[in-house]
Amino acid sequence: MGVIDFLWNGFLVALQPDNLLFAFIGVLIGTAVGVLPGIGPMSGVALLIPITATLTSGASAEEAASSAIILLAGVYYGAMYGGSTTSILLNTPGESSSVVTTLDGYQMAKQGRAGSALSIAAIGSFVAGIVALIGLIFLAQPLSEIAIKFGPAEYFSLMLLGLCAVSSFAGKSMTKSLIATVIGLLLATIGMDNVSGVARFTFNTPVLYQGLEFLTVAVGIFALGEVFSTILQKNKEEQAIAKVGRVFPTKQDLKDSAAPIARGSIIGFFIGVLPGAGAILASFFSYIAEKKWSKNPDSFGKGNIAGVAGPESANNAASGGGMVPMLTLGIPGGGTTAILMGALIMYNVQPGPLLFEEHPQVAWGLIASMFIGNLMLLILNMPLVKIFAKIIETPIKYLTPIIIAISVFGVYAVQVETFDLYLLIFCGLLGYFFAKHDYPLAPLVLSLVLGPMIENNLRRALTGSDGDWSIFVTHPISLGFLIVSALWLLIPIILKLRGKKVIINDES
Amino acid sequence: MSSRRTDRITAVILVLVGAFFVIQSRSFASASYGSGVGPDLFPIILGIALILLSIRLFYETFHYQDEKQEREDLDWKRFSIIVGSLLLYVMTLEIIGYILSTFLFLVIAIQTMERGGWLKTLLVSAGFSIGIYYLYVQILEGTLPPLPIIGW
């Protein structure tokens, strides 16, 4: 079967009425998550894992997995659309990849061009989503075919590369992000060891034999952690929201943004594919590129539509690009994709090179649903942008307690165990503490997901080589990955020593 | 935002955590088969890495610039009330049932966030707890702890 056949089958999955509904719910909630300042894409996706688990409980494993991932991915890219809304109307980014959008977006709103800015952001996001999908379709198969030849040594080194990349970009202090990574890996070792059957760090408590449930940890660290920090901050004064005005862009606006959208989509996709980079860097680079290529760079920061169109396309393309390493290699490049991967593993669907062979329904169903989801988002965002702007006004005093209640409900519904609720609260406190003191959360969750696989591959490789560690450097591909990992950690240090400012990618 | 003192305390705690993992791992029956690649290998490496990184963190605190005494005004009272009632909520969930415990938690939490607006608070709390229970238990046929006696 060729790519077209697979894609066709994917559409058959995605177009099933319940999956259409799931995609719709996903993008709708995603947009809301993007709009609401207190909650980012990572916590949004984490919060919805238990909800999707309950919604899909009746279906077969394969169907449940495809429906769940369709919904959760919808939240992810939907948040990229929604994030621009608050940047433009309020000058506060709803999620951090829309930070640069505030520069020109808010200026446009002040000039009464908020509607144009919003609709260009939506159109740009749509085009970028489609570009990213086409890239995903063409890269997925060849990448899987390469990866399938990897042995355990190559896999171990590749995962190490993923962890190093994410740690080196995240947070202000590399020591702290490496600490976060190691803590995540350590937490992953709790529970029964799959190979030897030895119970590790369980203190003979039966609830711990299964290990810490990923879902509980993710919801606690992200959703509760963010909520706790909102509670601690004193109520802020309400900000005035700019009027939306005329929703559709003028012909001139469209003409001015066509090229930035195209460039942003391509830049964004490739940055998204790289591990560790992601949507924030993508939007940042796109902004710099637009400013550089512009005929009058001085107009940036004063309401130039290219400053909205480029970055908004780039962050959406990057979220699509981020799916590539997760689906094909089984190595998420960032926090949100790590959570998506954790969700897939919950359904016994292992992302990686075999995904397209073993679960074509899930992989291609997801890809096809992203086409549909992006279309839904465009339709939702153009006429309904005024309604979404209203969500910003949701009073925080209701929102915060309800997010807590949803976390408790979600975790209890799936686990049916009060132990997990205590763990949830503990992880919330931990998440708050970490975020507050600059320990990035993305590496932590990534290593929590990758931990069991890294260990497994390490042990398989060492068992195969009779405990000889040189296996990791004598295999050329593995050696290559290790060198790149080392570079990834060393280059920021060298740059810092030379006094350069290092861009960080703070996803939460 | 990282303060020297917090980072030092954290570093010390993390050294202990790392040591704990290393020591615990050594008690696993290592080398359960052949090559000595047992269940203890990975946690021991990680424990040592954590210890080294924490020492590095401790060392780094000596290079922090003297921070301005800019204390953040955080609402610890509000935070403790909500986290406290969350703990109570979790403890009572299986005793007094989902609807009642959720309702009480929401009322307390919303009022702690901002006083006043009682009617709306009661409506939101009741709507959420009953709505979720009804949706999940009646329509999706899941289980949540019911109210005692009434069994709902």
pLDDT digits (tens, 9 = 90+) for A60-118: 888 888 999 999 999 988 888 888 888 888 887 767 778 888 889 888 888 888 888 88
Q: How confident is the model at residue A499 (pLDDT cuts 50, 70, 90)?
A: low
Q: Is the pLDDT of residue A20 over 70?
A: yes
The 10s digit of each residue's pLDDT in A25-42 is 999 999 888 887 667 788
In chain B, the residue whose alpha carbon lies closest to the alpha carbon of A396 is B113
Q: Tell how far CA A9 is from the center of its chain.
A: 26
Nearest to A398 among B3, B94, B124 (CB): B124
CA distance readout (Å), A311 to A115, A169, A319, A374:
17, 19, 12, 17
Determine, yes or no, domain membership for A421. yes
Residue A241 domain flag: no
pLDDT surpasses 80 at A332: yes
CB within 8 Å: B75 and A196 = no
pLDDT per 10-residue tile (average), chain B, 152 residues:
82 95 81 64 93 94 70 84 96 93 95 89 94 86 81 66
Residue of B nearest to A430 (CA): B10
- Which candidate from B10, B37, B73 shows the least CB-CB separation from A459? B37
Ramachandran category for residue B147: left, alpha or beta (phi over 0 → left; psi -120 to 50 → alpha) = beta
**A194 found inside a domain:** yes
Reported confidence tier of residue A54, pLDDT bands at 50, 70, 90: confident
Q: Is residue A384 part of a domain?
A: yes
* Structural domain includes residue A505: no
pLDDT at A243 over 60: yes
The residues that bridge with A200 in the sheet, in sequence order, are A191
Do the Cβ atoms of A287 and A103 come closer than 8 Å?
A: yes
Predicted confidence at residue B73, as pLDDT, reads 77
ipTM: 0.92
Number of domains in chain A: 1
Rounded-to-integer distance, Cα A312 and Cα B138, Å: 42
Range of the domain at A105: 3-232+251-497
Nearest to A159 by CA among A190, A196, A184, A187: A184
Q: How confident is the model at residue A247 (pLDDT cuts 50, 70, 90)?
A: confident
Structure confidence by residue, pLDDT tens digits, A285-300? 899 888 888 888 888 8
Contacts of A466 in chain B (CB under 8 A): 34-35
Instruction: Compute and round to an integer the Cα radius of gyration of chain A.
Output: 22
Nearest CB to A458 within list B34, B42, B105:
B42
Express as a percent the part of chain A with pLDDT over 70: 96
Taking contacts as CB-CB distances below 8 angstroms, the residues of chain B near A402 are 106, 124, 128
More confident residue, A303 or A425: A425
Of residues A78 and A505, the one with the higher pLDDT is A78
Is A240 within the bounds of a domain?
no
pLDDT of residue A131: 92
- CB B126: neighbour CB atoms within 10 A? 15
| pLDDT-derived band at A508, boundaries 50, 70, 90 | very low
CB contact under 8 A, B29 and A198: yes
